[in-house]
Every structure is written in structure tokens, then in C-alpha cells.
Amino acid sequence: MSDIIKLLPDHVANQIAAGEVVQRPASIVKELMENAIDAHATKIELIIRDAGKNLIQVVDNGSGMSATDARMAFERHATSKISTTEDIFRISTKGFRGEALASIAAVAQVELKTKTKDAKNGTNIYIEGGSFQFQEPVQTAEGSNFLVKNLFYNVPARRKFLKNNNVEFRHIIDEFQRVALAHENLDFELFHNDDIVFRLRKSTLLQRIIEVFGRKLQPLLVPIREDMGWVKLNGFVAKPEGAKKVRGEQFFFVNGRYFRSAYFNKSVQDAFEGLLLPGYIPTFFLFLELDPEKVDVNIHPQKTEVKFEDENLIFALVRSTIKRALGIYNVAPSLNFDRDTSIDAFVHQKNSGGNFKAPEITVDRDYNPFIEERNSAGEKMAMTEIYHQNLSPEPSKINLFEEEDFDEDLMRLPNGYWLFNKNGKTLMLDLGRMHRLVVSKRNANKKPSGNSHSLLFSLEYHMNETEKNKFRSIKKFLPELGFEMVIANDHVLRIDAVPEGLKETQVMKFLEELFEILEYRSEEEFMNFYNNKWSKIQSKSRFDFIYKIDAEQVIRDFTLLGFPEYLPSGKRCFIEMPLDELKNKF
């Protein structure tokens, strides 16, 4: 049998490596910006065309490279960051593997101009599809200027999987923001198709957050600070009013490196226990500093996941520090502003070499989650399972009701629900949900009228850069919906008219929710989201039904739908009261 194992050619190996490093244009942005920071740049300029598909250019004023180093930088596993295996566990720079430039050059056309401080001339290198083309002396500024053109031009199968420009540019902004937040002492600029998107000057962390996410966030920010010697925690969390239903403004950094962690996100969520509505996620910008040997940043190709030696202790530190800060700033009740003593006990046990005794847990063995109130997690899960077993439920076993006087068959309860007697059955109704479904069905096949209500005084919505880009992507749809609005200056959206039926007090929240979605992939997707939000606003305006005549009308409208038991989300519109069981209570 002949030998079948052989070494891959360099260009094939580089393209395989590129699959890990270069997933989309934003991946290149991250790598090149981090390289600029490692080169001690104080100013970094990012220039993008067509969401990075045709051009990604990063210009820095860092230390630059010699002619030899510039050529070596494109070789696989060529790096100045590590020399021994032990160095991997003491990483203090952004990049260190020496794979990024080789991987980028394998799937694009790359040009580099670079010059060191004392050199008379710089170096110009051009590589196409991993194939070295030329290297020559050039007059250029101190630092490095990387141009990455026509991404995936030689791998069309990869290029066709890129999303539309709005989506890809959203990812670029995400990477830009992460780097900019971690380095508030540097200047950053971002251009897209010749338009300035961000111009950030050296500042404090608070100023950088406000520059990136808008000044409306400033009054909501609560400072976080704790120093335990071996670990430091600082940053900001937003008060509950700054929480959102979608992820976006949740940032964790360790030693200046952004990372994701569902585990530590939970520590923040736990600190806000009892302060947020269900489904809302707190906004936070948190920075950890500790010995690099206590952190492993080498467990993920994009280095967005890290492993901590003492993650349970850090979890407790984050949670208790935030809870204490919320108490100090009167966001949450707090009787003790001192550090959580359980953390100190854990540190003492850890440092003294003793065995840490886990806290005892008391379990109520008589507890039954299935007899709790209607909002219990158990019931919600059960309802969802029932609904998804029957995605198109038949009309309820309650027959369609005939038009007749309700008389004494309808009664409002103090908790806002209604009792309804019909056909020998007693139902508890959630009229808010029923009305929402009625409005949703009514609007399902109806195009928005576009009728406007002119405002006596224009409203001003202060946008951050992310919201500005989202506005540009949807502004062509807004006039036909009844909005009249223009960007009055760099960050202010002036609203002169709104759709009929939208109250002035609802405008700001409505716009915030429109801008909150990460991206709209199509006009249809935007209109579906808009109509859903519009239906909720209309139903919420009559959510607290207190008059019997209104309740009767909702029931009549709901009956025409077949009296469905569930919303599309799986939430229940009514429950049947078990009268026989209630009799046994007496």
C-alpha cells in the first residue's frame, strides 16, 4: 500500500488557518487594530469601504517595522510576542500566535507600508492570495499602514456567505467599540465610504463610554470600583432604566482584552435581582485586572473566551461590588455597604492553605413548583410546551359566543384580570393579551396608513453612532409610516411629526426599540418588527381595562378570532377556573 499522508502546500494551509482567524471583515479589523496597539500606537485610523468587503485600511503611528520584520510578519507562526511555552501563560499583548497576517494575506490582496522611527525609508510589501508579489523601499510616515482589499476574492464560496453591508458593518462597529473602550487613552477614527462614523480623542473611561454610546446614558451610569490586591474591578453599570431586552451594551474586559462570559454575565444579572423587569438585561462596562498567569486567553481562536484560575471568587466579587454600588447610589436598598465578607473568608482560606467549606444548602422537600401562581416559571414552561406541540391550535373548546347581553357574567378582579361566565364555564381572562392579539390580527394584512400627526414642538432624540447608522438604514421607510424626522446635527434626530395614534410620551421609547435591534436584513423584516411594536403600543394604551363596556368589546372581537387560548409567543390568554376543585375548599 502506498503512502497517503502528505504535507499541505503553504497556500492551502494558510487558507485553512484563515477559516479560524478570518470569519468576516470584522475579524480583520480586530486583528489589525490590536496589532497597532501592540506597536504602541497613540492614534489609530480605520477606513472601511463596502462594509470591509472591498477595503479595510488601518493606519497607526506606532513603532513600525524594519524591512526584514515586515516580510517575516506574513510568515505563519512568526511572532515577536513569545519565545517559549511558558510565555503563553504570561500573555500581556493582544496578539501572540503569529497567524493573523498570514491568514489575512491568504484570502485577500494585502499591501503594507511601514517605517520605524529612525529609518530613512520605509518598506512597501504586496501579497496577493498568499503569494508574495514584491517588496520595495518607499517614503512613508512612521508607523504602519495596512490595506486589505477584495476579501475572499480567491475563495468565492466564502465570500457568498458574507451578509449584507448593514450586517457586516454592524460587526465592524462592534469590534471597533470593544477596542476603543479598552483604550480610552488612545485616539481612534472610523470612516465608512468616506463618511466619518467615530472620531474619539484621548479621554477618561466615562467620557469614552458617552462618546461611543451617547450622552443619554451618562445620568444612568453608576461607578464600580474594588481593589482586593490580587484582582481589581472597575467600570460602570447602568441603573435599571438603562436595561434592554436585547444584548448589546454588555462589556467585560480582562487586562484590556474584551471577552465573553455567560457565567460572569450572570453575576451582573444576579446583582440586579429584583430591580429589572423579566427579560431585561443590564447595561455594563466592567474591567478586571489581575496577574496574566491567572488567566488563560488561549482557549479560543478569536481570543474572545478566557479561563480564570479563580472564577468562582471573581463571580462573587463582581456580584457583591455591583450590589454595594447600587445601594450606595440609592438604586437598591442596602443595609451594609461593606465588602461581602464571604469573599474575604474565601481569600483567607485560599491564602492560608486551608480547606474552604462550602455553604450548607437547606432544601424544602415539601415545595411543589406546580402549585404556584400563574406567573411561575414552571407554568410558563408548561404553557410553552403545550403551545409548541400545536403551532396552529384549533379554536378553543369554548364555542363562539353569540351576540347577547353580558349582564352579570363579567366581573373585574382587583388584580386586573376578569372573570367571565359562559356556557357553564368560568374563565379568568387576560384582556391585555387578548386585545394585543386582536390588534395584531387586525393589522396583519393592513399596510400602515402613513397619516401623520404634526407636533406642536419638535422632539429631539439624542443618538449614538450605532443608532445613527441604524437610522440611515431605515429612514427611507419612515415617511410612508407617518414619521417626519431629520438629523439636525451630528447626534440629534429632530422629530417633527409622528404617526396618528402614537402619543408624544411614547415616541422616544418607540424609537429606542426600533434602533435596538442589531440589524434588519430586509424591508419585510423591518416592517414585521415595526407592525409588532405598533400593535403592542396600541394594545398597551388600553391594557388596564377598567370599564365593562371596553371589556365586552374586546371579548366580542376576540370571539371572532375563534377564542384562541394562546398568543403566538405561547403565553396564555385565559384559563378555565376549576369550579369543582374550588367547592372542595369549603
358 within some domain? no
Domain boundary (200, 218, 253) is at 200
User: Going by C-beta distance under 8 Å and a sequence separation of 6 or more, which residues neighbour residue 7?
Assistant: none
Size of the chain in residues: 586
110 within some domain? yes
* Full domain range(s) for residue 23: 10-200
**pLDDT tens digits for range 82-120:** 444 454 544 555 554 457 898 899 999 999 999 999 999
Domain boundary (179, 200, 221) is at 200
Residue 416 or 212, more confident: 212
The arithmetic mean of pLDDT across residues 456-476, rounded, is 83
387 within some domain? no
User: Going by C-beta distance under 8 Å and a sequence separation of 6 or more, which residues neighbour residue 370?
Assistant: 378, 379
Shared-domain flag, residues 484 and 401: no
Q: What is the CATH number of the domain that holds 515?
A: 3.30.1370.100
Helix (H) or strand (E) holding 200: strand 195-200
**pLDDT tens digits for range 145-195:** 999 999 999 989 889 989 888 889 989 999 999 999 999 999 999 999 988
| Cell representation of residue 538 | 396600541
Shared-domain flag, residues 551 and 512: no
d(CA 213, CA 284): 12
Residue 399 or 124, more confident: 124
d(CA 220, CA 381): 34
Shared-domain flag, residues 536 and 547: no
Q: 320 in helix, strand or coil?
A: helix
Total domains, the chain: 4
| Cell representation of residue 225 | 470600583
Whole-model pTM: value is 0.67
pLDDT over 90 at 126, yes or no: yes
Helix (H) or strand (E) holding 555: helix 548-560
Q: In this structure, are residues 220 and 488 in contact, taking their beta carbons and an 8 Å threshold?
A: no
Shared-domain flag, residues 254 and 219: yes
The arithmetic mean of pLDDT across residues 9-36, rounded, is 81
360 within some domain? no
d(CA 87, CA 92): 10
Burial 236-245 (b: 16+ CB within 10 A, else e): bbbbbebbbe
| Cell representation of residue 262 | 455567560
Shared-domain flag, residues 522 and 555: no
Q: What is the CATH number of the domain that holds 86?
A: 3.30.565.10
403 within some domain? yes
Amino acid at 283: T
Shared-domain flag, residues 22 and 171: yes
375 within some domain? no
d(CA 126, CA 136): 9
Domain boundary (335, 352, 369) is at 352
Q: 258 in helix, strand or coil?
A: strand
Shared-domain flag, residues 261 and 275: yes
**pLDDT tens digits for range 242-281:** 888 777 789 999 999 999 999 999 999 999 998 988 888 9
Shared-domain flag, residues 476 and 560: no
343 within some domain? yes
Shared-domain flag, residues 135 and 266: no
Confidence of residue 397 (pLDDT cuts 50, 70, 90): very low
Q: What is the CATH number of the domain that holds 310?
A: 3.30.230.10
Shared-domain flag, residues 467 and 421: no
pLDDT over 80 at 425, yes or no: yes
Shared-domain flag, residues 209 and 143: no
484 within some domain? yes
Shared-domain flag, residues 110 and 255: no
Q: In this structure, are residues 106 and 8 in contact, taking their beta carbons and an 8 Å threshold?
A: no
Q: In this structure, are residues 178 and 258 in contact, taking their beta carbons and an 8 Å threshold?
A: yes
Confidence of residue 322 (pLDDT cuts 50, 70, 90): very high
Confidence of residue 502 (pLDDT cuts 50, 70, 90): confident
